């Protein structure tokens, strides 16, 4: 079954019940194909508004498949950021790490952030922009 890594931007809109993110994530929840990563959970907890939101995000680890980062994934992310910067494109190391995780685990990435398109030129992951 295909895995989908949901980027922070999509989760934020899901929690705010904004469409189309709410419907898309709801469908993926029903299909049980969502995976997560530490960085995404950390970004969500950093921006949480309440203790209840923090508790919900902490449950991601036991609810979804967790994509563990490795030294290889970190090096791939760093090299992607380096290559993008050399090509005149700025991309955060965090986003390069998310893309590298998606590639390594053969997961699709669902995001609202168009800069993942630039990253995809270096890290050939399955990208779905909303």
In order of start, what are the domains of the chain with their CATH numbers? 3-124 (3.40.50.1010)
Report yes or no: 130 and 110 within 8 Å, Cβ to Cβ.
Answer: yes
- Give mean pLDDT, residues 77-85: 95
pTM: 0.92
Q: How far is CA 38 from CA 83, 87, 130, in A?
A: 24, 28, 22
pLDDT surpassing 80 at residue 50: yes
- As a whole number, the mean pLDDT across the chain is 93
Quickly list DSSP for 49-94: SSHHHHHHHHTHHHHSEE----HHHHHHHHHHHHHHHHTT----HH
The percentage of the chain sitting over the pLDDT mark of 70, rounded to a whole number, equals 98
pLDDT surpassing 70 at residue 34: yes
Residue 130 — very low, low, confident or very high, per pLDDT cuts 50/70/90? low
List, for residues 90-107, the tens digit of each pLDDT value.
Answer: 899 999 999 999 999 999
Measured in whole angstroms, the distance separating CA 64 from the mean position of its chain's CA atoms is: 13
């Amino acid at each position: 079954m295909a895995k989908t890594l949901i980027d922070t931007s999509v989760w934020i809109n899901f929690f705010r019940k904004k469409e189309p993110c709410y419907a898309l994530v709801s469908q993926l929840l029903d299909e049980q194909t969502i995976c997560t990563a530490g960085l995404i959970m950390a970004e969500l907890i950093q921006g949480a508004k309440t203790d209840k939101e923090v508790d919900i995000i902490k449950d991601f680890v036991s609810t979804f498949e967790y994509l563990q980062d490795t030294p290889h994934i970190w090096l791939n992310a760093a090299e992607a950021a380096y290559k993008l910067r050399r090509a005149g494109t700025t991309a955060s190391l965090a986003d390069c790490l998310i893309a590298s995780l998606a590639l390594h685990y053969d997961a699709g990435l669902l995001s609202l952030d168009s800069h993942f398109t630039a990253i995809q030129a270096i890290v050939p992951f399955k990208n779905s922009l909303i």
